Structure 1
Amino acid sequence: MPFLGATLPSRPSLERRSSQSEAAREGLSGVVENDRDTLHIAFGVDENYVHPMGVTITSIVENNPGLDLVFHVFIAEISQANRERLEQLEIHFRRPIDIHPIEDLAEIREQNVSKSHAYISKAAYTRLLIPEALQGVTDRVLYLDADILCVGNVAGLLEMDVGDTAAAVIRDINAPAMCSRLAEKGLALGDYFNSGVLYINIPRWIATGVSERTLEKIADPVLNLGYFDQDALNIVLDGSVRFIDRTWNYQYGLTGRLKKVKDAMDVPSNTKFVHFIGPMKPWRTWNPHESKSLFLKYQKRSPWAGINLDDGFTPREFYVYSKFMYRLMFRQRRWLQGLVWYGKFLRRKYLAE
């Protein structure tokens, strides 16, 4: 059923610190959380990704109604409208959503980052701040990118044994190419994981200085890493992670599918998380792929119900979309429309060159 907005009662701010978390969660769920039975999930986003992140959270709760969940949102700035929607989401689903303002974590950042790293983006900082920030709150945290939808039961993570590794990870769909690229820099890796889903063993991560060492790799001008924190994490964690099944991070590229005029969702039935990798995302208004319907399914059950999807095109997206459209029109023998779209495709192609 669609999400039903309600007049919110007066309540404390969502920006709770870890010392307040136990009392706040007791009030929301009726029981003090038991870390062994609670799955902590963290996101690092900016204002533009709060909307899709909210839909991600909705998809997780909808597919795991009996699971004890606590969500952590790491963000630099958030609008009042999105703050209120997160509060509605928290109350509606009775799952804590703790907002961690990045500017309030300056002390942690200073401990891990030298002045020479000042140019590194907040996106890279955020993922690396999470283990330090949640130390003492939980021993395990699931980090997720915001371009992910949950489509299955994730309770298995609570029973997963990560041993003495720093994290459980999922192999990148382009792992061979990624390894070859880094090998050209003299870095021979055993494998390569996608950093959009990380089940982090916080004590081990901190004890081995993963965040600090990763920032050093990102800032190294000799390495000049192409994928910044993902490359750096793979270098630092090589041999120190547990690779788990791809159903936990089913990397789904819309670009390649649309180029082949494929518009149906095609994921294995046991998939837990669908990760929409690449520049094209399901929340575009013009998205002709079935992924848009999947996104809207969960959006309708969230406080973002009725919010318009993103109408914008990046140059890359318009190139892919026009190519999809002219091929689709020709396949349907709609020759005139096909020629119009082919003209748009060629124009974008040669403008890009």
Structure 2
Amino acid sequence: MTTSIKRADALHIAFGVDERYLHPMGVTIASIVKNNPRLDLVFHVFISKISSAGRARVEQLEKCFGWPVHLHLVDELVGVKDPGVNKSQAYISKATYIRLLIPEVLQGTADRVLYLDADILCAGDIANIVDLDIEDKIAAVVRDSASESMREELGRKGQALGDYFNAGVLYINIPLWMAGRVSGRALEKLADPSLNLRYSDQDALNIVLDGGVRFVDETWNHQYGLTGKLKKGRVGMDVPPDTKFIHFIGPMKPWRSWNPHHSKQLFLTYQALSPWADEPLDDSFTPREIYVYSRFMYRLMFQQGHWLRGLLWYGRFLQKKYLMG
């Protein structure tokens, strides 16, 4: 399911995922199609390896929505260097490498590509993305919600940046990306032990692209931290009405079965439109998530006057707090 046919008027949208993120990616695609029924779309799914069941779901996406969905198996791409070929880059994960690989593979197919993380839901019309002027810029980006602290950390490593963007949404000018050797230079930064980049390819791209990107309105990448919302007991969706993409940053995601936030219902609404409509939500917990969730639950139970249930949740909270401490 790969293509070399160039569709000049189409919006090409690419994802770099592993098998675990195929389900939320499919829901992301459903949300885009639902909110943009008249937009000419081409989707690209980059993945290292995929099961037969996962491949069948991806193939159903094209049948379900009527737009091309091209599957790019990274391990099978001819003429593309594996990150492990260079010994200094051997530790870099395939997931990290995939995002850097996308412009290289799509050159000649499209001049622009919209890269999206798979923990994003589309909330509105994105047709005017093609009006973003990046003729002389390598990408259009949105400032990271923790921009100042990110810049300070890189500054301590000798990397002074004018600003810092979140790499979950990138509208890429492919010819300029290729001309600037962005992927190769970012891999070099990742492989530099003196930098020890905390945020992997996001840090590397910020270093390499400093001054070469256009910062656009945060409506294109509204970074939404569910952990902070739950800690404050806030369960309603509270995003600006003109938001185009809701990006669920941090470890807490809307597709968790135990998620009490209304983001879960939003996710389920779009999931019902996708080939994953019958897929159960994730019911796994990390220790950190149990800690955050139990803290939220005991406070909510106390607020509602459910004292016994609140005490039970408070006991779980203290247990996790002790174990984590």
TM-score range, shorter chain: over 0.9
Amino acid across the alignment from 1:201: N
Q: Distance in 1 between matches of 2:192 and 2:85?
A: 13
* Residues 89 and 106 (structure 1), Cα distance of their counterparts in 2 relative to 1, 3 Å cut: same
Residues 49-68 of structure 1 deviation map (CA, whole Å, 9 limit, x = unaligned): 00000000010000000000
Structure 2: segments with no counterpart, 5+ residues: none
Residue 122 of structure 1 corresponds to which residue in structure 2? Answer: 94
Q: Distance in 2 between matches of 1:107 and 1:340?
A: 58
The RMSD of aligned alpha carbons is 1.3
Residue 168 of structure 1 corresponds to which residue in structure 2? Answer: 140
Q: Distance in 2 between matches of 1:295 and 1:78?
A: 23
Instruction: Give the SS at the match of 2:211.
Output: coil
Q: Distance in 1 between matches of 2:131 and 2:195?
A: 38
Instruction: Give the SS at the match of 2:77.
Output: helix
Residues 80-137 of structure 1 deviation map (CA, whole Å, 9 limit, x = unaligned): 2222222222012110000000102262225996221011011110000000000000
Residue 191 of structure 1 corresponds to which residue in structure 2? Answer: 163
Verify: 1:268 aligned to 2:240, yes or no. Answer: yes
Verify: 1:302 aligned to 2:302, yes or no. Answer: no
Partner of residue 230 from structure 1, selected from 189, 202, 205: 202
Residue 136 of structure 1 corresponds to which residue in structure 2? Answer: 108
Amino acid across the alignment from 2:299: R
Instruction: Give the SS at the match of 1:142.
Output: strand
Verify: 1:200 aligned to 2:161, yes or no. Answer: no
Residue 342 of structure 1 corresponds to which residue in structure 2? Answer: 314
Amino acid across the alignment from 2:131: E
Residues 174-233 of structure 1 deviation map (CA, whole Å, 9 limit, x = unaligned): 001111111111221111000000001000001011100000001100011111111111
Query: Runs in 1 of length 4+ with deviation above 4 angstroms?
Result: 110-113
Partner of residue 62 from structure 2, selected from 79, 90, 93: 90
* Residues 271 and 113 (structure 1), Cα distance of their counterparts in 2 relative to 1, 3 Å cut: farther
Give the alignment's TM-score, normalised by structure 2: 0.97
Verify: 1:213 aligned to 2:213, yes or no. Answer: no
Residues 223-254 of structure 1 deviation map (CA, whole Å, 9 limit, x = unaligned): 11111111111011111100000000000000
Amino acid across the alignment from 1:60: I
Q: Distance in 2 between matches of 1:324 and 1:85?
A: 35
Structure 1: segments with no counterpart, 5+ residues: 1-14, 23-32
Q: Distance in 2 between matches of 1:166 and 1:145?
A: 18
Partner of residue 244 from structure 1, selected from 200, 216, 225: 216
CA contact (8 A) 1:112 1:212 kept: no
Give the alignment's TM-score, normalised by structure 1: 0.90
Over the matched positions of the two proteins, sequence identity in percent amounts to 65
Residue 250 of structure 2 corresponds to which residue in structure 1? Answer: 278
CA contact (8 A) 1:113 1:215 kept: no
CA contact (8 A) 2:84 2:91 kept: no
Instruction: Give the SS at the match of 2:105.
Output: helix
Instruction: Give the SS at the match of 1:223.
Output: coil
Verify: 1:253 aligned to 2:225, yes or no. Answer: yes
